[in-house]
Structures are given as C-alpha cells and as structure tokens.
Structure 1
Amino acid sequence: MITSPYSRHALTFPEKTAIRTKEDALSYREWDEAVRRTAAWFQSLGYENKCVCLYLPNGIPFLQVFAGAAAAGWTAVPLDLKWKAEELSKRLELSDPAVLITTESLLPKVNVPQANIRIWEECAGEIAGTAPMADAGSEDLPFYLGFTSGSTGSPKAFIRSHLSWIESFACTRREFQIHENDHVLIPGPLIHSHFLYGAISTLFIGGTLYLLEKFSPEKTLSVLKEQAVSVLYLVPTMAEALLGKNTVVEQDLKMISSGAKFEAHTRKRIRGMFPNLTLNEFYGAGELSFVSFSNDEKKPNSVGRPFHNVSVQIRRENGEAAAVDEIGKVYVRSPMTIIGYMEKPGEKPQPIADEEGWVTVHDMDRLDEEGCLYVAGRENNMILYGALNIFPEEIEAVLTMHPAVEKAAVVGLSDPYWGQITAAAVQGDAAVLELKRLCKAHLASYKVPRKWFFIEEMPLTTSGKIARGELRMMLEEKQRADLTAARGQN
C-alpha cells in the first residue's frame, strides 16, 4: 500500500522531518503515528461504504486524512474549494461518500444537505485518542477517486488502485532520480493530482516535504532560498510567475513539470533563473499516470521517451500501426493506469483497457525513428477545416516562439463554408503581421489562423491549462459582436 513504508521510515530515521509547513512540522515517527491513528479512527466508524470526501485546505490535515484513509482501506475523494455549490453537489452525488471532512471555517461553503459532514477540529481530537493500527488491505484496492468531465459535460469519476501509484513511485526514483535524501517543495494545491502525487511519493520514498498553504511566487522563492530544497514540483503557469520575479536561484535543483510543455524561449529563461537545474517534463494523463519524460534539450519539441514500465503504440483510424512520424491515436499499456471510470452513483468502475491492456485518452501523437514521442493534440481539440485536420497545439507552439507572446491558444470557430476555421487568441504585444509571418515560416499555409483576437488574460482551468471551451465561447461572442457592429456601420 502507498502508506506501507511509513513505519519503516519511523524506525530508520524517527526524528527526520517528514513534513514542514509555515506553522507546523512532523517527524517520521510523528507522521507514522498520525496516519496509523487516523486509519484506526476510520475503521472505528463502522461504515460499509468506505469512501471519504476531503473538503480541506492545503496542509498536514489534508495529507493525514488522505493517507489515513488509504491505510484503512478507504477511498479518498479530494474536493476543490473553488467549486460552486452545484458542482460540489454533483460530485458528492457521484462519489456517494460515507462521510465528508471539512474545517470549521469552511463549513458555511459546504451547503449540501445530502452529505454526512464531520468537522476536522473535532475529528482530530477523536483521532488523538485512538490506538494506532497497521495497514488494512492490499495493493489492488482503490484508494483515490478523482473527477474528469464526461462527454455530456457532467462529471465522471476515475478510480485508482494503490498499485498504480506504487508503480509510479518507481518512475520517480528511476527516471527523476528522487531519493530519501531529497527535500521536495510542493507549492500547488493538493486537489490536483500532480501536487498530491508529489507529496505522497515523497513520503513513500522517505524524503522531506515542504508544503505551501497557497501558491505564491514570493513564498516559493523564499522557501527555495531559505531551505535545502532539491526538488520542485510545478506547472508552467507557476514557472511564468517565478520568472516575473527577476532573480537567480543558484542551488542544484530538480524541477518536475506537467500539464503543458515549456516553449523554447521559456525554457531558456528558466535555465537563466536556475543555472544548476535538471528540468524534468513529463507527458501523461489522470487516467494513464506517467507516459513519457524528457530531461534534455536535444529534441525540444518532443515529450521524450516512454518510462521504463510503459509501452506506447500509435494507431491509424482503422487500428493499424502508424508509420514512423505518422500522426495517429496514442495507446498506452502500463501498470499505472486507472481501474476505470464511474459515471453513475454506486456503479462498479468500468474498465478502460482493451483485452490486451491498451488504453487511450484520444491524444493524437507520433513517434520518431528513435522512439521519442511528439504530441500533435487532443482528438476532441482537432479543428476540421474543410477536409483537413488541424491540431491547435501545433500552431500554439509556433505562436509562443514569438518573444512578445505571453500565451497563445487556437480554437475552431464555426464557418458556413469550411465547417470550422482556425482562430488564434493571443495574450501579449506581438503584431498580427509578425505572427502570420512566423506561422508561414513554420507551418503549412492552411494552418495559419484565419481570425486573430488579442485578449488581456487567457481563461485557464484551476490546474493552469487553457479553458478551451470557455475561450471558444468568448471568441464566438466577440465574432458575433464584431459582425453586428460591422452591419450597423453599413
């Protein structure tokens, strides 16, 4: 189980710091005891439905509840504090928890009558008086339920087993070279699996974890400079915020990034800010976990080679294997994929792998002659321009080569003749003519955006990715407004 090494760490280095926040710190002896007591408390509740929702801020209590539930054989469901009441209610209905744990201060936001709510401050007192217990369960048990959007826009849940993350921890050791002597900073919200994974993998390996309550570039740089941090988990939007502080961090540092690939000019600036940096970018998905990784500059447009325990196939639409450098749908086989999806309350997870264990999340990729993977884009992001397929990500990679472009996104807008046309949304000060010339120098002519919009701030999801649906609606509204204004002038 993902919590199994804690007791060994407590014996090997009992007074070593396991977790440090601004306000608190726990040794591995204290951390192991806290998790074992929490596990025993969960078992004492006597529920047959072993599912708990966490509506908690970043901090030791979040990790304690998550790990304690896992050790007790329960499934933990982190809930985003930014969700509106309706979003929260839908996810509670789908996960159907036995109990929801929140804090006294957050209780007014949990306006969901169907939830069995427990207050953390009260739970903590009960846990402190409970005798510790050993792990209960096995590696094939579910321990983590997350959410993604279904085809109708309603949420669906994905469920992950202990073994899937234990296999991922092996990648963290082998490919990322993170070990028990590392000091790992997690500056982002634990509701997102990238940061939650970074925290739990550090504790599994036996490193020291530094946790911020909320991301701030100032606080992140302060911890980096004041503590012996050797590993930093982040996403590209956080890197941009750090770059805005115009400072240099001299210590040796391993950076683990996901969510989007760094563009060449951003990567250069990061290396200027962190001169002793090992930059590890990985490609994956919530359903797949790790797929491939890159930590060198030889092929800057590639997302690297598959991890040691991952097999990758690129397939044509008819299911045949694609040729070298031919774009097709990527299929992944590994021990790190999820158990399955759940779209209705109480139903068993529906497996996503085929009979031979292959899984796809409908990304369109290609493999070169050396086995390096290149992401073309998501199938559902693809723009159908006449009879031609255009992947927005390819155009965005070119647009962000321009030094005056802060962010760029490309979407398809409805067109009565072509079906869809490409529209570029740009955050920055670049001139349209310069951007068109840049596109023409690197792309086929039909891929050059037909519509150009300059916006003050790119709409992003809570995990820092482009909110394409919101952006498309925003651009369509601007297009309608421009058309109405033009008609009025005539």
Structure 2
Amino acid sequence: MNVIVPILRHAAEQPDKIALSDKHQSVTYSALVNRIQRIARGLKQHGLNHDHVAILSTNRIEFVEVFLGAIYAGCVPIPMDPKWSNTEVKAILKQCQPKMIFTEAAFAQNLEMQDSEAQILSFASEEEGSYQRWLDPLQPEAEIVDINELLFIGFTSGTTGLPKGFIRTHTSWIKSFEATSDAFQLDAMEHIMAPGPLVHSLSLFALIQCLYSGATFHILQHFDAKKVLQLCHRIPDMILFVVPTMIESMMQIAMADETRIQALISSGGKWNDLSKSRCKEIFRGAKLYEYYGSSEASYISYWDILAENKPNSVGRPFKGVEISIRDEYLQEVPIGCTGQLYIRSDMIFKGYYQLPDETTAVFQDGWLITGDNMYQDHDNYLYMAGRSKNMMVTGGLNVFPEEIESVLLQIPEIQEVMIFGVPDDYWGELVTAIIQWSGEQRLSIEEIKSYCRQHVASYKAPKQIITVDQFIYTSSGKVARQAMKDYMKRVMV
C-alpha cells in the first residue's frame, strides 16, 4: 500500500483537475505528479536511498511537492516546524541526520549555521532560488522509483517539552482515510482546507487524504479567519479540518448563512459545548463533527454534533478501533468507571524515532497506552477525565485538569482556561485556574467554586484564580501547558 499510487492514477484520469491552490497559483494533478517525479529523480541522482529529507517551511505548494517527491523516491520526509527554537531545530537535525533540507530563504541562514552535512535547498518565488535551479534540469521518472514502508517522521507539538519524533507508515494512514469515509457522512470530497500548519498531523493528514481522494486542497500560508471565510464563500461545499480556537475566531466575524460550508471537522483540543451551540447557529447547514485522536493513534473516536446529544463526550470509537479501559492493575473497569484508555487498530503509529524505551512504554501486548484517563457509557461513548501526565494530587485526591477546564469553559465570561497545581504545604498541590476573560465582566473565586460544585466534586474546584491577557499556544493551536506553567512560576515569585 502506497499513498502515491492513487495520486498517479488521478493524474492519468483527470490530468487537468486542480490538485493544489493558493493565492498565487493553481497546480493540476498532472503538473503535480510531474514535479513529484522530478524531485524523486533529483534525490536519486544525489545518492539518496531510503534516507531522510527534512522540510523546514511554512504552508506552500513546494512543501507538498517535496513531501510527496521524497515519498515517491522511497525516502522519508521529515516536516520541521518553523516556530521551533534554534535549540529544537539543532537537536532534531542531530537526531534525524537528513541528507537534504528544503527550506525557505528566511530559515536558510540559520540552518547553514547548524552542525549538519545536509545539502540545503532554498525555496524562492523568483527563478534564482536554489530549489528552482536544482529542479529545472531534472526530467521526470516514468516508474515509481522506490517503495518504503515508512511514510514520514513527524513530531509532536511539544505541549509539555521537547517534540518527539513519531513514525508513520503508509498503511496506517490509508486505513485512516478509509475511516474518514465510513464515519463522516460527506456529500462529496471536492474541496478541502486545513488552515493550520502543514507540519502538524491534523493539516498534513487532511492534505494527503485530499490528494489521495482526488480532491482540491486549498493552501493558506497561515490561519486567517477572514481569509478562510472568504474562500468558503467563493467555493461552496468546502470541508474544513480545524481546531476549536480556529472555529472561535471564525465565529467572531462570521455572519449566519454567509457561507455554504459542507462540514466542519474539529480536533486537536476539546471543543466546548457552548461553542458548539453557537456554531450550529452561525454555520447553519454545515455538518459538524468532532473527533478525538493523536499523532500516535490517529483516529480514536468521533461524534456527529448535529445528530447526537452527548455533552462533554469525545464520541464513540471509529470502525476498526478496539477500546479497553483499565485500572492500575491492567484489569478492565466497569462501564461508568474511570481508567486509562488502551486502544488497538491498524491506524496506530509504528513507534517513536530512536526512542526504544519510550516506544516500549506506550505499548502493552499490541495495545497502545494513550495516557488518557476515560470512562465509557452504556452507548459506548467515551468521556475524558484527563491526561495521566497532567494529573494533580490535592489533599491526597487525584484531579485531572481537563475535567475542570471542560466545566469552566461552559461559562460565557471565560474565553480560555488552564488548570494546574501550585505546590502547597497543606494541600500538596493547590488547584489553580489561569483564566482569560471573554469581556469586561469578571467572576469571583466564590462564584467559580459555586459553579464547579454543580458539576464536579468540591475538592476539584479551583482555590485561586490568576487572570492573564492571553495564553501561550503551540503552533498546532493547543495551550502550551509547560510554557504557561513556566510563565506562572516567574510571575508568582
């Protein structure tokens, strides 16, 4: 199984159909395959064989060309996040040892200063770019040059530390593409947009799925709510793969019925129920889905927001996903009881790159240990209690921040919230809420406690509030928990 084969077929059967489009140009399937084959030929001519090819770039057509060209050549592409620090870039280059790096002019100088023997090719809008000069004399290869079981090495968004490399195979993503068709009842997959960074799993997955399906993928260099809505207005039946923070930004400026979006598919963070209700009103007629998954697991569960009434749920398992919720003794817990979630499917990742101990730690007899604490209801819907690594112990009792955050995000006055534990001589950890308010109105700590007690045990309610003007986010749109904790340590001294 290889993700490139259907793209080649689309180029033969519908050569003039647009595969990629951005504000500057559109690329047909035949032109895209021509570029893919030329890149693959160039990599082979430079002696690359199952080697690593790094891409340090913002969202652009060349990113897609190189990513697919590397796969066509049997190499392993490694998308690198432009928002990484110099320390992170240096560490990952040292770990992965790419033979060739494709990048933008803005990042090339920094890469040249790194201790790497890789050849660096710079994208440029003008013909003088080293990438364009390298590409011009190359002729396309008629046959698939090579096949590699590995699809790519991606990196986690690093919400709590240095990003970890995760290894994806062709089979795992092709099985995930099949799960999309089974779960999301889409009328047609003709136009797709995932306006987040292509270096992250959500957008990259949507991109490759789009091309695998023969649809048109619309590229934005970076997320801009106004530009997303304008594009959706111009192109009906758009399917959007987004994170909840993007939906919030779009709703702030959208007018009801001004767009004809076919579907909004949300992941990458819990989408709170209040926001979902507003979304139903603003984007009337659009299908609304939320799914829960991870870079390691791919799809785990999903639910149709318009058809199902399961507040605070993360949905029911995708077809082909086996679920097991276990206690600390690895025994399955009864329905309604919380335990750690284990999953098994053909969609899970192969392991962490060059981290054998960490890979071993997340697998148990073929089951992937997600690190998420869950419970399941009688209808097989899953509910998140929290991440094991985020768990606090206050007064000798376990508290999962995500559970409290989910409750507090139902309060209209709260725009964003993060719960964490502050060391305390009496409690062990003092449950603390960092809050960004949505307007001028503020709630007191007593009002916050009173609201929480209606939904969770009293010991889980925050005992203090810290107000911030804005949160720090990872480039994939999640709250950067470790960065926020570090910031709090500095301001609370």
Asked if these proteins are the same fold (TM beyond 0.5), I'd say yes
Residue correspondence of structure 1 range 169-180 to structure 2 within 5 A: 169-178=177-186
Residue correspondence of structure 1 range 15-414 to structure 2 within 5 A: 15-48=16-49, 50-110=51-111, 111-116=113-118, 117-120=120-123, 121-128=129-136, 129-138=138-147, 141-148=149-156, 153-178=161-186, 181-248=189-256, 249-296=258-305, 297-343=308-354, 350=359, 354=363, 356-414=365-423
Structure 1 equivalent of residue 126 of structure 2: none
1:458 alignment partner, SS class:
coil
The answer (yes or no) to whether the contact 1:341–1:351 under 8 Å persists in 2 is no
> Among residues 405, 417, 421, which one is paired with 2:430 in the alignment?
421
CA shift digits 1:417-456 (9 cap, x unpaired): 2211210111103312332221121111111111111111
The answer (yes or no) to whether the contact 1:281–1:295 under 8 Å persists in 2 is yes
Structure 2 equivalent of residue 431 of structure 1: 443
- Report the alpha carbon displacement of residue 180 of structure 1 after superposing the two structures with TM: 6.2
- Report the alpha carbon displacement of residue 185 of structure 1 after superposing the two structures with TM: 1.5
> Among residues 415, 426, 442, which one is paired with 2:455 in the alignment?
442
The answer (yes or no) to whether the contact 1:92–1:115 under 8 Å persists in 2 is no
The answer (yes or no) to whether the contact 2:338–2:374 under 8 Å persists in 1 is yes
The answer (yes or no) to whether the contact 2:157–2:200 under 8 Å persists in 1 is no
Moved more, 454-463 or 350-359: 350-359
**TM superposition score normalised by structure 2:** 0.92
CA shift digits 1:274-329 (9 cap, x unpaired): 00111111101111111011113410211111111211110000000011011111
- Report the alpha carbon displacement of residue 355 of structure 1 after superposing the two structures with TM: 6.1
The separation in 1 between residues aligned to 2:396 and 2:403, in whole angstroms, is 18
- Report the alpha carbon displacement of residue 203 of structure 1 after superposing the two structures with TM: 0.3
For the structure 1 residues 266 and 348, does the alpha-carbon distance in structure 2 shift closer, same or farther, using more than 3 Å as the test? closer
**TM superposition score normalised by structure 1:** 0.92
- Report the alpha carbon displacement of residue 35 of structure 1 after superposing the two structures with TM: 1.6
1:279 alignment partner, SS class:
strand
The answer (yes or no) to whether the contact 1:40–1:133 under 8 Å persists in 2 is no
The answer (yes or no) to whether the contact 2:20–2:26 under 8 Å persists in 1 is yes
1:244 alignment partner, SS class:
helix
Between the aligned residues of both structures, percent identity stands at: 32
For the structure 1 residues 179 and 145, does the alpha-carbon distance in structure 2 shift closer, same or farther, using more than 3 Å as the test? farther
2:165 alignment partner, SS class:
strand
The separation in 2 between residues aligned to 1:349 and 1:363, in whole angstroms, is 16
- Report the alpha carbon displacement of residue 237 of structure 1 after superposing the two structures with TM: 1.0
The answer (yes or no) to whether the contact 1:185–1:229 under 8 Å persists in 2 is no
- State the AA in 1 paired with 2:20: I
For the structure 1 residues 370 and 64, does the alpha-carbon distance in structure 2 shift closer, same or farther, using more than 3 Å as the test? same
CA shift digits 1:136-192 (9 cap, x unpaired): 444x71121122389994443211111111111111222124576421122121111
Contiguous gaps of at least 5 residues in structure 1: 481-490
Q: CA RMSD in A?
A: 2.2
Structure 1 equivalent of residue 473 of structure 2: 460
The separation in 1 between residues aligned to 2:174 and 2:205, in whole angstroms, is 11
The answer (yes or no) to whether the contact 2:48–2:75 under 8 Å persists in 1 is no
Moved more, 375-384 or 434-443: 434-443
The separation in 1 between residues aligned to 2:299 and 2:36, in whole angstroms, is 27
Moved more, 121-130 or 289-298: 121-130
The separation in 1 between residues aligned to 2:204 and 2:6, in whole angstroms, is 17
Contiguous gaps of at least 5 residues in structure 2: 124-128
The answer (yes or no) to whether the contact 1:329–1:363 under 8 Å persists in 2 is yes
